[in-house]
Amino acid sequence: MHTDKTLPPAKQIPEKERLILALDLPSSREARDFVELLGDSVSFYKLGLELFMAGGYFDLITWLLERGKKVFADLKFFDVPETVAKAVRQLKNRGVSFTTVHGNDAMMEAAAAEKNDLKILAVTVLTSLDRGDMDDLGFQCDVEDLVLSRARRALKLGCDGVISSGIEVPRLRTELGGHFLIVSPGIRPVENRLTDDQKRVVSVEEAFRNGADYIVVGRPVRNAPNPKEAAEKIQKTIASVFSSS
């Protein structure tokens, strides 16, 4: 594990793109307004199920791409493998950078087989789940062990990386190396860690020191009195982490 807090070898990722803003808003119009509010403080956006169900999802993707933004379509595909493959086939030529699959080996393999330039990220264990939740779901194993197992299988099946809490990232890097992508959600300022439904959380600096390539941040920016200022503060933290490595 990276106990000395030395960053693993960095991939060639522009620092500003390492922050992925979770655009979890009720409508496409509100999403566009928020993007305009943030301006150049954010260049990578995650679009999830709420916006997908709100309508105008693909128009919003096009609108973001036209403004030079990158898009992560976080749709967590989980269905019979052929349906997952067809869903990825529909998505892969739309200019999206990342998407997620949240299924078994056959589903992950089907998604990876259709990806082209679209990066497939396997969800390991949702950051809203802790040891008690895993017991309730019937997983009689340690969370970290399950994350490692799912990540190892995903990479073997052709996925480009994983979604993982920053807590488990050091072991992933130690066991599996640095060649694959790790995107870490559940990023919280220390003072906000106990105020919402995310349970396995780390700070911005901890996530990158542990070996994450990207972080996903939502509420700490969206709910801030000045969202653009909050995003810029995170960007400054990211810059300081990599400049000191």
Planar angle of CA 52, 56, 57, nearest 5 degrees: 40
Alpha-carbon gap, residue 73 to 238, rounded angstroms:
23
Selecting among 5, 11, 69, 76, the annotated active-site residue is 76
Closest by Cα among 15, 18, 26, 20 to 217: 20
Is there a catalytic annotation at residue 76?
A: yes
Of 23, 126, 108, 11, whose CA–CA distance to 72 is shortest? 23
The backbone torsions φ and ψ at residue 182, rounded to the nearest 5 degrees and listed phi first, read -125, 125
Give the three-class secondary structure for 71. strand
Alpha-carbon distance 68 to 57, whole Å? 17
- From residue 88, alpha-carbon distances to 72, 84, 91, 115, 243 in Å are 13, 6, 5, 7, 37
Contacts of 88 (CB under 8 A, 6+ apart): 77, 99, 110, 111, 114, 115, 118, 120
Which amino acids are annotated catalytic? 76
